[in-house]
Structure 1
């Protein structure tokens, strides 16, 4: 696998090396050929591949590799990223720090193999501290391109303030800014306010040959600040031609223009790759900004795509680390008073149970098993009931409890593993839970119930169950609900619970976009459709 991956890396590198010659003395990139573009991404959030939740999966290193493999046949390109690459959030939870840091390194190395040249340090990149960020940078070849580091912090990690790109008669000056308020706590001190530092950056650019009045020069700014800030920045510095933004999770269907400055973003997790086409002279190209969906089929553009093997190796490492992490967490096992699972509810609510058993919710944990992500805590919460809740569970070992067998007993681990192996066999030919017919889902639910009986499952938190949407009063069914508890069963309350998992990132079809491509609220018609489908 290493040899194949090395060959692909060499191929991708040569596709750029033959067209981009870097003069390290003055940070100048020279482009040869008829066409050239800047490709960009942001907010990858530590994701190397689609998690399997989306209706139409997008993103993934194999898909980006396939896209670039095809694109290099027609043009040369420079790949940059505007931050939030390494972690899912700006905080790394202590109990899963080891797995998240390993995943961060895996995504960074993968992007490095794709030919990433420049990046920005965002809040999700510095989540584990500057020391870890420097450690990641020491293992890759891409460089932070940031112009507003504080003077006393410039030595803390390698970076460039700007670079020059020479393409035909055109010279493009590329630099980057990080808005301090996007960064967590004391790390804000690493950055100057961009509006205060940028005049000094412009001075350095002019010393390097930049002339804002010359139509053969362009200024492109990579920004980790947010769309609103970028708009204000463009007003203050109207000489900027392009701002490649990030942080605000915006999606621009076309450039947002502030004067002559064009602002673009392309959303997150490599679901899309943005492209700015650069002309080689004074001429204005017919289409300068575009974006590309990273669909599953793109991965097939490279035979035996080595990035697939890379991800599989990454999953194996992460699975071992997550298993170790979760063994360190203990929720009380069989001794705690557990929240009711579907089995106990359906003893009385039989008709509702029959309807639930036909929905993907009833076997939703299998989606994680199919994707090999059943140990991934960020996914488990939405594919089970009660994670990190009182009476619920906190790790994979405690998802299922067996009769007369405590989680601390010697034979528990082997029994648990055999149970999950049998469940996996029931889904071995299933590629997508969402695409199954109601009849097939119901049949799988029946098969799962049989396995629960076979293995003497006493309680299970797996799958989306009754209490993901509903609440139950103490001593139900004998107690009477008060007004507050009745409100918990209203349509509005259930809708809020739906949206905790059906986010714009995982379920974009649930949301509307405004004219700028920014998500602007729930698509009520779509919600009604899904509500009617699920209600029972």
Structure 2
């Protein structure tokens, strides 16, 4: 009787075993575009950053296992001296985090092979003749990751990385998951031809987390998705912070001190020259945040970062404009000549100053640096 009971129980349990499900989490980024960390210009744009991303993975990675970490591409910066330093710092940071797959597309402004830091064996591309797919495993779960939409679907679980926008995705049948780095913001995944479509959060402000439920054959039977915030509450990874500090040092070297240009050769005079005739306006300017713009960079260690300096000084990047605090101290901060134009001709020939309009302000008050900028109300703050 006991034998019959045990045998019956074993038969009853067989379907349960066949239906047993596993899960795999895909943690993903894409469209970082060289944003190593938040710029610090506005409290509303303080999300993201590689040091926080790595810190989150260190602190919470254990509870997310099994997972794979993927970057869907478009994460390198522009092809400039500073942009190349950014891209190299990003690749070094990715190596610390242990990405399983990194996508690089032929449209990239900087070919990865031209950088001093090269991606490793986890790199795939859409360029013919180069590695276009990679396979990774988590226990018995086998994942085929490819940058080639026409590539073979080699595994039970197939993931396609692309830079195409969602509206341009066609013939994706057979790809279980498609991750785009088009820069689109998708609040939730969309379904196209049965594929789960997700998109890397622009500039790496959040980490995407896609949890897949897999049947006994390793095929997707269900999923859930969330965005992991990377705010200041996330503890940074000291290893990545060290990489970013080294980047800051290299960027500062791009602004090597040089002899100050003779005043006669430059059109900028500085606020000290304006105050001689416009003292009331100078006093009202001193009460604005424009008068302390450079100080804010010094406070966060970005006073030698060209991408930041240009909007916190007067005439940076132009002949006779701000170069460094040491070489051109009289042109630090957002002074009169930023809004009204260089003062040399105005003083010498009495030419009218430049009119201030919305387009002038929008050069620096962008959606990324000043998301709540309103021309009328902000204009009142500096009116004189």
- TM-score for the superposition, normalised by structure 2: 0.79
> Quick check: 2:260–2:328 contact (8 Å CA) kept in 1?
no
The equivalences for 1:104-253 within 5 A come to: 104-122=87-105, 127=110, 129=111, 131-133=113-115, 135-137=116-118, 141=120, 143-146=122-125, 148-151=126-129, 154=130, 159-163=131-135, 165=137, 172-177=143-148, 198-199=149-150, 201=151, 204-205=152-153, 208-209=154-155, 217-225=156-164, 227=165, 230-233=166-169, 235-246=170-181, 248-253=182-187
The corresponding residue for 2:25 is 37
C-alpha separation in 1, matches of 2:340 and 2:22: 61
Per-residue deviation at 1:59? 2.3
The equivalences for 1:102-501 within 5 A come to: 102-122=85-105, 127=110, 129=111, 131-133=113-115, 135-137=116-118, 141=120, 143-146=122-125, 148-151=126-129, 154=130, 159-163=131-135, 165=137, 172-177=143-148, 198-199=149-150, 201=151, 204-205=152-153, 208-209=154-155, 217-225=156-164, 227=165, 230-233=166-169, 235-246=170-181, 248-281=182-215, 283-285=221-223, 288-299=224-235, 305-319=238-252, 321-323=253-255, 326-327=256-257, 332-394=261-323, 398-400=327-329, 460-471=330-341, 474-476=345-347, 479=350, 481=352, 489-490=355-356, 494-501=357-364
Cα distance change on mapping 1:386 and 1:316 into 2, 3 Å: closer
Q: How many residue pairs were aligned?
A: 357
Per-residue deviation at 1:364? 0.9
> Quick check: 2:267–2:342 contact (8 Å CA) kept in 1?
no
C-alpha separation in 1, matches of 2:378 and 2:264: 37
C-alpha separation in 2, matches of 1:331 and 1:268: 39
C-alpha separation in 1, matches of 2:160 and 2:146: 5
Cα distance change on mapping 1:467 and 1:240 into 2, 3 Å: farther
Structure 1 segments (4+ residues) deviating >6 Å: none
Is the counterpart of residue 532 in structure 1 residue 366 in structure 2?
no
> Quick check: 1:143–1:160 contact (8 Å CA) kept in 2?
no
Q: Which has the larger radius of gyration?
A: 2
Cα distance change on mapping 1:250 and 1:470 into 2, 3 Å: farther
Per-residue deviation at 1:60? 2.5
C-alpha separation in 1, matches of 2:225 and 2:320: 51
> Quick check: 1:383–1:463 contact (8 Å CA) kept in 2?
yes
Per-residue deviation at 1:75? 1.5
Per-residue deviation at 1:333? 4.1
Cα distance change on mapping 1:255 and 1:466 into 2, 3 Å: farther
> Quick check: 1:224–1:245 contact (8 Å CA) kept in 2?
yes
Cα distance change on mapping 1:397 and 1:83 into 2, 3 Å: farther
Of 72, 80, 103 in structure 1, the residue corresponding to residue 70 of structure 2 is: 80
Cα distance change on mapping 1:245 and 1:467 into 2, 3 Å: farther
SS at match of 2:73: coil
Per-residue deviation at 1:372? 2.0
C-alpha separation in 1, matches of 2:251 and 2:339: 31
The corresponding residue for 1:51 is 39
C-alpha separation in 1, matches of 2:206 and 2:128: 32
The corresponding residue for 1:437 is none
